[in-house]
Every structure is written in structure tokens, then in C-alpha cells.
Structure 1
């Protein structure tokens, strides 16, 4: 397998690479920004690609924000973006639940382990939910809670799905309630299973780390609906109608972004080194997940 091509500083190589593709799928955290810090020349790079007639889709595993939330962030960062160009793991999960699973009422309610981004996208698809940001769950577990969950008196009988995402207020009570629903036959889904979240120029526990307690207790992995899940790729293709051979996935994480593009049989993948993985992770012999090319930062595509 040929080694990835290094494009930073190679103006002719960059244009040759860009000319191969009509569509670019972008990860956000670690590629465009880190937390509230926009990486240099990102807005100009996005503008350059649009000027060349490229179709852009922003594909994020961060489940804490809805598409509308992301639109506000793009606006704040000075990057022109339409809500319809954003495809997040929360939206992917909501579409899967509403349009693919289509569980019959009344056993079609979702128990959410996560933030308001998940709730907003479920609501946009007409899916009912409990848990999530409910302030009643942001407390320590009490002895009576164990009894009420064991006999089911504190559980919603209409919950048929447990959806696990990134939850900044996770606690034992929330995990115990999710496990109780799973024991009663609820379908186990996850917005994504990223182990870490890149933000503020560092790494923090991601959605996969938050949901690890449920996985360990239940003994089964959830169906993940974020990158690298091909259920997400199929949904994106169905939404945007593009030729996969003329599409390129741009990301900072090998086991989600780059693997997502490779397994989706996209025409190319581009790694940037401003997030999780460094070049040592994919250069050299014996590396399993290799991008087609890489740059130090997304802004390097300006040449």
C-alpha cells in the first residue's frame, strides 16, 4: 500500500488533489476548530473550495449540538454555512430512529443519555424522548431509586430505545436508568463511540467513554450511527446525492474520519494534523488505516 502524499507546501500537488473531487466531507472538531479557536485560514480555505464549485458537507460526531446549533457556531466563526450542509451524529440517529427503525407506538420512545443537541434532532423528526437534560436526573442516586428501577415503577413503559451520546452531566443515576431499560429489551443505539473529544487544544472523554459504563454492564455494543458507521454514510449519500468516487473525506482521526471514507469507498481521504492523530500514526510499515494524503493544517490547502 502506497504511503500518503504530503501536500503542505506543494502548490501544484494541492490543486491536482482538489481537481479529483467534486464533494468534500469535513469533520469539524480538530479540523476546522478546537473548541472556540478557529484554526488559521480555515474560512478562506472553505471560501476557496466554494469558489471552485465544490459541494461541501460538514459531518460531525459531536452529538451535543444540533444542526441549528452548528449553524450558529459557523456564523460565529465567520464561515458561511447552511443548516442543510451540516450532518451530525445526533441528526443521523434521529433519522435512523424515525425513518428506518420506525418502532410501532407506544413502545417507540427514546431514553437519552446526552445533551440538548440530541433532543433537538429527535424532536425535529417527531420522536418522543425522556432523560437527556431532565434536571430531575442531575442528582445523586438514592436507596429508593434502586427499588423503583428494579420494580419498574420509575421507568417509562413506552421506552423502546436507549440512545447514548456525549453527556456532560453523566452520573450513576442516568447510567442505572439506561441499563434498566436495556434489561427490559430496549434497543441499544449510540450517536457515536469516539473515545475522546478534541477541544481547547487538548483531548477529553468522548461519547464512547461516557457510554462505556452501559456497554460494560449490558455486555453488548450499541449500533453506532456516527462515523465510521456506514449507516451514516448511506444517509448522507441519500440526502446529498453525490458520486462517491468524486468525494473526499477530510478529518483528523484515523479510526473515525479516515476509516469512514475508506469503508464508504470514497474517491479519497485527507488527514489534517491539528486534531487527534499525528503523522507517526499512519506513516511507516504495518499501518492499517492510511489516508490518501495529508496536510499539517486545513489552511495549507490555500497553497
Structure 2
């Protein structure tokens, strides 16, 4: 059973609300392309016309390949087609609840022929950073026990629902892996603790929302930005749209120019903005995902983030 929050403090997220929230935190995201360099978006029926144009195809997961635990059959077929054409297929996901091995198994069980080296999650990016630049001290890990937080190369300890403010004082910082099970009491306890004693907050999943079937769930990025408003803390974000996630993709395909890579996603402020900042070409899918039912041209105009291509699905 999925236990990610679908409401918080009277807010039930909708695509329009989520878009407005991304606009509100725009200053914390990477800079986009200046107006004179924004592409003129081409509308396609699918990515079929682009099959021969790119050498590497990078797919966001939620809203593009699946919604919650349900994979899109057309996405499974498209991935198989690309692989049959000897294209490099990568998944770049902000998912951080599951360990890398568990996330690979999840997509394999859905029907995607993805090897471990073809999946980059924001959690994996964080783990690589912690290995190359260890953080000292004792960290509280915000995630359910089922997420295997012990894979993190840090002195990490679960922050449990019954954790009190006094127990939070024993931590030198916090790692926000997952919003699963997170609630108003937990959040207010953490916020009050950080107000009294600011410490580092590392956020593995910068997403504000995630599409899960007929609803949007609130993700760690939402709570991290709320902490920014409440406390004297500046979280460090991993995952899209930030540079380390896209650099991880570039590192896995050495010798291939960023312009020969197509980033495919459902969110302007994460997939498209981050892909463009990395020099990749971008395709926005609109039938499912965080912008479902929205006036997409208006969203592009408001955000100033224009994808190279737009299609209902892949």
C-alpha cells in the first residue's frame, strides 16, 4: 500500500497547484535558457520521428514510463524498440524511497529491460557523492525502514514517527530520502527542532509532487521548501533539475555530446529545465504526469521553459 501523503495542512495537490508551487520556488532552481535561446517547440504525436535523430534517450519515470506501480504498455514497447535499434536507453528518476537494486528490480518486474547501469536515481547520485565526499557526524534519515537506509554511506539512523524533538537533537544533520509516512506532526517536530538549532538538510528527491494514478503525492522537495520558509536552513538538493543528476548521465555515456541526448519528461521545472541546463535536447510528455489537463502552451509561456518537442506520450 502506498503511504505517500496526498494532502498536508489543508493542501491537496493538483496539477495547477503544483505548477504554481514550482513557479514560487523558481529562484532555487537552475537558471534556464535566456529568452532568445529558447527553442520553438515542435508538437509531435510521439517520439517516433526522433528515433534516428538521437543516440541516447533518457526517460523520467513517473508520468512517462509509469504512474505509481502501473507501467504504460506503450512505454514498454517504445523502450524495446529503441533497444532493438541499438540506442542507449537510460532512466533518470528522482525516486529515492527504494535502494538502487530495489528500483532496478521494480522496473524490470514492470517489463522494462533495464540493467542496473541504465538507471540513475537521485538516491544513487546522493550515495555516490557521499562516497566521494563523506559527511562527518550522525545523520537522521527520513525514510521508512523498508527503504533500506543502511545503503547510505553515512552514519545514518532512521527518524521514526515517534521520534521526539529531544531525540532529534542527537543528530548533526538530516537526509530526506522519502516522504512515505511523513505527516504534519513529524514535520512540525522537525521544523521546531531546526528553528532552535539549524543543521544541514540533504534532500535526495527534489520533486514537489509525483503522479500516482488518480492523484498527486507530496514529495520531499515540497517539505524541504517548507522548511526553508520556516527555518534558517538551506537544503542541499540532489536529483533533477540539479546538475549532479544530469552529470551522472553524461558520465555514463562518455564521448557522446549532450546535444545528441534526448531528455524525456513530464515536468517543465525538473526534466526540461534540468535537461536544457545540461545541454540536452528535451521532449515534454503531456497526457499523464504533473501537467495532466493543464494548458501546456500557457505553462510554457508563464515559466519561460520551452521544450524542443512536445507529445502526448512516448
TM-score (norm 1): 0.79
2:68 corresponds in structure 1 to 35
Q: What's the secondary structure of 1:250's corresponding residue?
A: strand
Conservation of the 8 A alpha-carbon contact between 1:27 and 1:251: yes
Could you say if the C-alpha distance between residues 184 and 288 of structure 1 is closer, same or farther in structure 2, counting changes exceeding 3 Å? same
What is the CA RMSD across the aligned residues, in angstroms? 2.7
Conservation of the 8 A alpha-carbon contact between 1:69 and 1:117: no
Q: Which moved more, 1:229-238 or 1:273-282?
A: 273-282
1:103 corresponds in structure 2 to 135
CA-CA distance at 1:270 after TM superposition: 0.8
Q: What's the secondary structure of 2:307's corresponding residue?
A: coil
Q: What's the secondary structure of 2:274's corresponding residue?
A: helix
CA-to-aligned-CA distance 1:228-276 (integer Å, 9 cap, x gap): 001222233234434312111100011001111011111x101111211
CA-CA distance at 1:91 after TM superposition: 1.3
Higher Rg of the two aligned structures: 1
CA-to-aligned-CA distance 1:81-111 (integer Å, 9 cap, x gap): 11221111111122222213x234xx2x321
Q: How many residues align?
A: 272
Conservation of the 8 A alpha-carbon contact between 1:165 and 1:210: no
Could you say if the C-alpha distance between residues 226 and 183 of structure 1 is closer, same or farther in structure 2, counting changes exceeding 3 Å? farther
Q: Which runs of 5+ in 1 are unaligned?
A: 299-303
Please, which of 114, 119, 122 is the counterpart of residue 86 of structure 1?
119
The structure, 1 or 2, with the larger RCO (C-alpha pairs under 8 Å, 6+ apart) is 2
Q: What's the secondary structure of 1:162's corresponding residue?
A: strand
Residue 164 of structure 1 pairs with residue 176 of structure 2: yes
1:5 corresponds in structure 2 to 42
CA-CA distance at 1:294 after TM superposition: 1.4
CA-CA distance at 1:128 after TM superposition: 2.5
Conservation of the 8 A alpha-carbon contact between 1:25 and 1:249: yes
Conservation of the 8 A alpha-carbon contact between 2:241 and 2:271: yes
TM-score (norm 2): 0.76
Q: Which runs of 5+ in 2 are unaligned?
A: 1-37
Q: What's the secondary structure of 2:73's corresponding residue?
A: coil
Q: For 1:260 and 1:2, how far apart are their aligned partners in 2?
A: 15
Taking the TM superposition and a 5 Å limit, the aligned residue runs for 1:1-303 are: 1-8=38-45, 14-15=48-49, 17-100=50-133, 102-104=134-136, 107=137, 109-116=138-145, 119-120=148-149, 123-124=150-151, 126-132=153-159, 137-139=160-162, 145-146=164-165, 149=166, 154-155=167-168, 157=170, 159-171=171-183, 172-173=185-186, 176-177=189-190, 180=193, 184=197, 186-241=199-254, 242-266=256-280, 268-273=281-286, 274-278=288-292, 280-282=295-297, 285=301, 287-298=303-314
Could you say if the C-alpha distance between residues 282 and 185 of structure 1 is closer, same or farther in structure 2, counting changes exceeding 3 Å? same
